[in-house]
Structure 1
Amino acid sequence: MGERFKIQRPKLSGALQEKVFQYDEEIYYNRCIIKDCHIDGEGIESIRCDEVIFKNVTFDALSFRKADLLDCVFDHCDLANADFSEGSIHRVEFKDSKLIGSNFADASLENVLFVSCLTKLSTFGFANLKQVAFQSSSLNSADFYECNFQRVAFTECNLDEVNFANTSLKGVDLSTCTFEGLQVTWDSLPGCIVTEEQALAFARVIGLEIKV
């Protein structure tokens, strides 16, 4: 079994005021819910959100680059190709959301949960992930190149062709996940927890010839 840990959930006030998303030089949202809308995110940078729920929101060309997101929930949102690079993302949940092609490169993610999300082709290169869990999500061809993992979990996810090169998988349990192939380096593998069948797939990836 992999290392067990508990994700801290977003700390949300009991009653959140519904607000309309508006553009400003300094965008800051606190203790509110933004829902059932379409947001053109082009040109947004350094947004700050504290205790915010986004529900049924479609983001177009969203740039959350260098964003500061604390105690937030994205529920049934379309975040395809969203840019979260260099952001600080703490106690945040992504639920039943589309994150295809999203960019988390160089970001800091702590106590972040992805549940039933489409996260294929997303990139997390050089990001720091601490207490982050992916559950029942599709991560096909996602990129975790040279990431720093501290208590990261993948449960019942599709990891086909995910890139874990130069990222240590020590203590990471992939046994409930499915994949036909992964991109890994030899030093990524020590301590990774897999099934016997998955171990054979890893052996083939690193060039071993297996006699049956």
Structure 2
Amino acid sequence: MPLPVPDQLGDLPYAHLLTPHTGRLRSDERYDTALFDGGEYTDEAAGGATFLECAFSNVSLSGVRLRQGRFNEVWVQGSRLVACDLAESEWQDAAFLGGVLAGIAAHGSALRRVVFRQCKLESVNLRAATLRDVVFEDCVLRDVDFGDARLTEVTFLGSTLEEVRLRGARLSKTDLRGAVRLGLSDGHEGLRGALISSSQLFELAPQFAQALGITVKDR
């Protein structure tokens, strides 16, 4: 089941504490109950920054470097993240609603209790990341790389997967049955430990056969 996430900014439990943020983002800065509303941030360096009970509404981040950032109880709505560096970042009790993440480096990151709802993820590098209790709901995941990642209790409700890579991934209690489309470009062996439906199994059968070196040929 999807985790409960407010759809409106005013419904956040810390909404009354939010203070509008002005100025640039800074490395190793601590942002506590900050509201980022409608701003544009381009090519800024904010590595190691901490965001606690913050909200991002209709924000555009392009080329922003947030490597090793920490995001706890963060709400991101209607925002665009393009070509951002989120490698080795930590996300807990966070939500992305109706946004776009494109060309994102998030390898080695850790996501726990994170919801992506009605988002588009394209060319997102999640190699060697750790995802626990993460929900992708009504999302499009295109060219997303989960290579060598660990996925535990991850669900893909109503989501479309296209050219997703799972080579070397380790899945546990990960439920793919709700996916509208299960398009994998490699790493079919990485599905070990996942739950899939019988129709998905039938759809993936030719790719499983190829991965196992089995030739299927009717007389």
- TM-score normalised per structure 1: 0.87
User: Where does structure 1 lack aligned partners over 5 or more consecutive residues?
Assistant: none
Question: What is the CA-CA distance between 1:103 and the residue it aligns to?
Answer: 1.8
1:164-186: per-residue Cα shift (whole Å, max 9, x none)?
11213343222222336313445
What SS is found at the alignment partner of 2:162?
A: coil
Q: Which has the higher helix share?
A: 2
Compared with structure 1, are the counterparts of its residues 90 and 211 closer, same or farther at alpha carbon in structure 2 (3 Å cutoff)?
farther
Contact 1:113 1:134 in 2 (8 A): yes
* Counterparts of residues 64-103 of structure 1 (less than 5 Å): 64-103=66-105
Q: Which has the higher strand share?
A: 2
CA RMSD across the alignment: 2.4
The aligned amino acid for 1:201 is: E
Contact 2:133 2:154 in 1 (8 A): yes
Distance in 2 between residues matched to 1:133 and 1:53, nearest whole Å: 19
Question: What is the CA-CA distance between 1:121 and the residue it aligns to?
Answer: 1.4
Compared with structure 1, are the counterparts of its residues 139 and 23 closer, same or farther at alpha carbon in structure 2 (3 Å cutoff)?
closer
Structure 1 residue 132 corresponds to structure 2 residue 134: yes
Compared with structure 1, are the counterparts of its residues 182 and 28 closer, same or farther at alpha carbon in structure 2 (3 Å cutoff)?
same
Distance in 2 between residues matched to 1:115 and 1:202, nearest whole Å: 26
Distance in 1 between residues matched to 2:47 and 2:136, nearest whole Å: 26
Contact 1:9 1:111 in 2 (8 A): no
Aligned residues between the structures: 208
What SS is found at the alignment partner of 1:152?
A: coil
Compared with structure 1, are the counterparts of its residues 101 and 17 closer, same or farther at alpha carbon in structure 2 (3 Å cutoff)?
same
- TM-score normalised per structure 2: 0.85
User: Where does structure 2 lack aligned partners over 5 or more consecutive residues?
Assistant: 7-11
State the partner residue of 1:13. 14
Identity %: 19
Question: What is the CA-CA distance between 1:8 and the residue it aligns to?
Answer: 7.4
Structure 1 residue 197 corresponds to structure 2 residue 195: no
The aligned amino acid for 2:19 is: Q
Greater relative contact order structure (CA < 8 Å, 6+ sep): 1
Distance in 2 between residues matched to 1:199 and 1:37, nearest whole Å: 45
